[in-house]
Amino acid sequence: MKAGRGMIVAVAVVLAAALAWAQEPLAVLTEMQLKGGKVEVKTAGDPDWQAPKPLLSLRSGDQVRVSGGGRAVLVFTGGRGTQVVTQGNSPFTVQAQAGDGMSDRAKTVIGNVTTFLLGQQREKTYQSLSVRSVRAQPPVILAPRDSRVLPGALNFEWAGSDRLKYRVRLLGPQGAVLWEQSELDRRPLGYPAGAPALGPGARYTWELETREHGVQRASFDVAPAADAQRVKDALASLTPAAAKGYPPATLSLMRAGLLFQETLYADARRELVTAIAADPEEPTLHLLLGHVYDRTGLKGLAANEFDEAEALAGPRN
């Protein structure tokens, strides 16, 4: 009798594990093109079609339906490729994929970034634009800000009035002034090649100053050489040549995700801002940029991007 009970328990454990595995996400929704069309999702346990949120996790049996000129891009977990869904192949049913012929290294990098993206869908817990103050805001440091940076080219970026003149000052690890520029217009400022070299692994502080608003500061660390090389190698797996079949916006999203994971928030922001300039109506790009701003303490800008992502993903008239 005891043996029989033990067998029943063992079978129950195996079935529970199998059920849990079956419910693991198989894909993430990385692109939603809604201009001139519609994207809808029906989960395996829900009879109704719903408008999906950006970076929605999809499980076995879930369906994606596209109408008109819409388009959806799914990235499968484990580096198992992508699926573009249009009206022509709708509805598409999510199933486990065998993967394609990319290298094991590329699969590992893409698989890790895909797992990261699965956790970035966001519920609305922030204050909406409609109820936040619209008063003119003082200048604010955008990047680098509470971030690591890769060795090499470095840009200082901030938001503020075009009518103001700005001073930028860089302080070394001991607080000494290494470099400064004054009477600056509001535009990205590159750290010149002839300025003092920045040491790998060291922390620096930069200051943004105006006569009208005083001084604000932000710190950043230069990534050690070994970390920088590892990131560079991983980014090489997220190129059109290495990741065939991954659309440009999806690759930009994945590169930004990798940089975010490495706490290279300034580089992640730059990747996303560039991608948004090329594809301004892609909600997933705005969503991840909101996470970058949220992580670096720019709550108002984060809410702007979350609102934009929600608006772009919503129904069109």
**pLDDT tens for each residue of 73-89:** 999 999 999 999 999 99
pLDDT number for residue 131: 46
Please list, in sequence order, all residues whose beta carbon lies within 8 angstroms of the beta carbon of residue 9, skipping any fewer than 6 positions away.
none
* pLDDT, greater one: 94 or 152: 94
Q: At 174, is the pLDDT very low, low, confident or very high (cuts 50, 70, 90)?
A: very high
Report the CATH fold assignment for 151-222: Immunoglobulin-like (2.60.40)
Report pLDDT digits (tens) over 15-32: 443 443 457 999 999 999
Report pLDDT digits (tens) over 31-40: 999 988 999 9
Domain 227-313: what homologous superfamily? Tetratricopeptide repeat domain (1.25.40.10)
Residues of the chain with CATH 1.25.40.10: 227-313
The alpha carbon of residue 190 and the mean position of all alpha carbons in its chain are separated, in whole angstroms, by 24
pLDDT number for residue 136: 58
Q: At 13, is the pLDDT very low, low, confident or very high (cuts 50, 70, 90)?
A: very low
Which CA distances in Å does 94 have to 25, 58, 141, 294?
10, 7, 43, 32
Residue 197 has pLDDT above 70, yes or no: yes
Mean pLDDT score of the chain? 89
Region of poorest pLDDT, from 11-20, 138-147, 244-253, 259-268: 11-20
Q: How far apart (Å, rounded) are the C-alpha atoms in residues 99 and 211?
A: 58
Nearest CA-CA partner of 24 in 8, 42, 9, 44: 44
* Tokens found for residue 297: 């303490």
Nearest CA-CA partner of 210 in 139, 156, 298, 135: 139
Residue 166 has pLDDT above 70, yes or no: yes
Residues of the chain with CATH 2.60.40.3110: 151-222
Mean pLDDT of all residues in 269-296: 97
